[in-house]
Chains A and B, each alone.
Chain A
Amino acid sequence: MRKTIRRITAIAAAAVTATLVMTGCTADGGGGGATGSPDSGELNFVYMGDADQQKAFNALFAEFNKEYPDIKLKAVGIPSGNWATFSTTVATRLAGGQKIDIIQVATEGQRLFASKGILEDLAPYMEQDQDVVDDYFSDINPNLVKFNEEFASGPDGETVFIPGGFNTMAMYVNKNVFEAAGVPLPENGDWTWDEFVAAGKQIKEKTGAYLTGAGPSYFGDVMPWLTTNGASTFNADWSEPTYNTAAAVEAAEFARSLVEMGLAPEPGGQFDGNTAFKQGKLATLNGGRWPVLGVRDLDMVDDTVVVNWPTNTGHGSPVGWDAWNITKNSQNKQAAWTFIKFLMSKEAGEYFASIGGTIVPARESVASSAAFTDNAPEGTVRLSEAMSWATPIPSIDQGAEAQKAIEEAWGTIIAGQGDAQETLDAAQAKLESLVGE
């Protein structure tokens, strides 16, 4: 009996050890990955994409493989609801010992990944293909280059990310609803908060449609209202939260007033915005490039126009951008760089835009080309123009927790469950504690 117990214990110990080894205890890069060949090898590329977006990504990958058939690209799309969750999922996979060569990270996760020392310094690769890099950087908005340097550099200031496409926020206006209510479309795509409310009241009265949706999404609701009132959740270098300033409180109260006036549906449930848009029950859809897929599916491209977010103190929008890196653990760094070069190319940008990519192409020449504007609502180019006044979405290392605190507070206010100043004061305190960690 004692022998049996001893045997079971030995088996259990072996199994536990094996489990720990299999799961891996750390994803610490530590460097040392092989360089490999630029034309062959196996690459694991992780990106955020749901079922809709994956179709476009798969087509892009097939295009890459036409040129580089010996690079076996294993692309894994993670259908996370937001970038904070995506970053968490990728971190968990790395911790689980999964080999990843390139991670497509958005702003929300860039500083976190950059700060952990798990990404390769890209300078040597950029030097070896300086002409390609120069061509790319000369064609993208200078703000994007600046933001990438300020917010996504490695611990010692090294370049660990190449910036890719981005998203800003705008409104997709249902021309039919505006026409039925006798409301003119915003001239040159610009309107103020007051004009927005006036339009909403007339639309409500004449058609019964809601003007806009009201939600607590950090990127999609909170930041647009804050930035168009000269506020933000954090200061310029994200070192201090600024979520309870007078301007932020005013923005939150304004968002609540839209619900109180009946111009936006009560938050707290779920409804199909696209269907309501098609049925003429909703006058605007809010978003970056991504609503275009829905607008196409609804066959409403010609009935929609993209306009800027309404302003109070001046133009504003958050911006978040994709960026590509090479992990220190990669066994095929040269092949990874080949793939990044492909993603930087004009051809890839145009191809991705034309097949349904849900980002604004980084290259301005592509963003203003037919590849991006064809089969898209009038005014789509405003998404690209918004980069000139956009604020990078503040994303501290404790991004998911910060996002929760921000959205929770905003949701409380727009649902009428808390005073704006008091609620934002409490959220500010929470954010301060996170920054201090």
Chain B
Amino acid sequence: MSDNASVRRPGALLQRRRTEAAGWLFVSPAVLLFLIFVAGPFVFAIVLAFLKWDLLTSPEFAGLANFERLFTDPLLPRVLLNTFVFAFASIVTHLVFGLLLALAVNQVVSRVLGYFARVAIFFPFLISWAAVALLWKYVLDPTFGYVSQYAAMIGIDLPNFFTDPAWAMPAIIFIDLWHTLGFTFIIMLAGLQTVPAELIEAARTDGATSGQIFWNVTLPLMSPTMFFATIITFIGAFQIFDPIQIITKGGPQDATTTIIMYLYEKGFQAFDMGYAAAVAILVFVIIMGVTILQFVGRRKWVYES
């Protein structure tokens, strides 16, 4: 009714157009940035996947050849397996330790100690990946690193983490956990603080034990937060690159070559931009597919009031 009335008023249409234009102007910086840095490169990557291009000479049309290679590339299955192993381990460790730390910090009575704990746990997340990677390379150096030196003092002979194919991926998973756990922790802590205290009080009044309260009240109410953490941890983990490039360069024996590392190697070391773009599209499809699956599966475990 009011809409019709406004249309009938003289100058109302002009006014509405002005309001619309103002709206577009306000969002235009974000839209422009999105077009230049997200949509543009995305379309470009799709075009690139149909080309054979080495960066230095003119591109040639390659049809579906780059996509066919995805099915015949002997290294790709190994690379995908590495990536999924890393992503799965990353989700599990981040969720478990993030939640445990959040629960522990939430129990701290002293305000000062609570703030200190939050800052201390979150702090590694603020350090750049380059610094973190180099730091751990020094710390875990098999000869001069203090971890191996202290371990040797108590008679423990540690493996050579970055050159042993069996240990390189666990070492990267651990370093990633150390660096990014603070972020998951903060999310979990925020989620924990949204759990209504009266529900916990009511459960306690009804005689529920701490374990029962955790499993039947806290955890279900935390499930939307955990769902969110699962999605962003998976997306982040699937795109892991920096620590691997700096610490192991994908080695030893391809034990830590993940899909983004592989994409980088194909595009910027082998100058095979077309195939790299096809791999990038594969990454997009996998992340989108897994995220859709997560959304479908959430009905089974996410409590939504």
Contacts and interface: CB of A to CB of B under 8 A. Distances in A.
A415 B160 contact: yes
A76 interface: no
B253 A417 contact: yes
Interface string A266-280: 111111000010000
Contact of A269 (B57, B162, B269): B162
A117 interface: yes
A23 B59 CA distance: 14
B163 A417 contact: yes
B160 A15 contact: no
A415 B58 contact: no
Nearest to A266: B142
For the residues of A in contact with B, the DSSP-based class is helix
Given A271-B141, A411-B251, A400 B36 contact: no
A398 B36 CA distance: 31
A84 B265 CA distance: 12
A260 to B, nearest CB: 13
A401 B265 contact: yes
B163 A88 contact: no
A60 interface: no
A268 B59 CA distance: 40
A91 B41 contact: no
B142 A265 contact: yes
Contacts of A417: 163-165, 252-253
Contacts of B59: 25-26
Interface residues of A, number: 41
Contact of B138 (A117, A266, A271, A408): A271
Contact of B269 (A16, A84, A270): A84
Interface string B114-143: 000000000000000000001001101111
Contact of B163 (A19, A95, A415): A415
B56 interface: yes
Contacts of A118: 56
Nearest to B166: A417
B196 interface: no
Contacts of B271: 88, 91, 398
B163 A268 contact: yes
A301 B113 CA distance: 52
A113 B56 CA distance: 8
A23 B43 CA distance: 13
6 closest Cβ contacts across the A-B interface? A269-B141, A19-B40, A415-B163, A400-B269, A265-B143, A15-B35
Interface of B: 31-32, 35-36, 39-41, 43-44, 53-59, 134, 137-138, 140-145, 160-165, 249-253, 265, 268-271
Given A12-B39, A16-B40, A271-B143, 9 more contacts: A15-B32, A28-B58, A266-B143, A269-B143, A269-B144, A269-B162, A270-B138, A404-B250, A417-B252
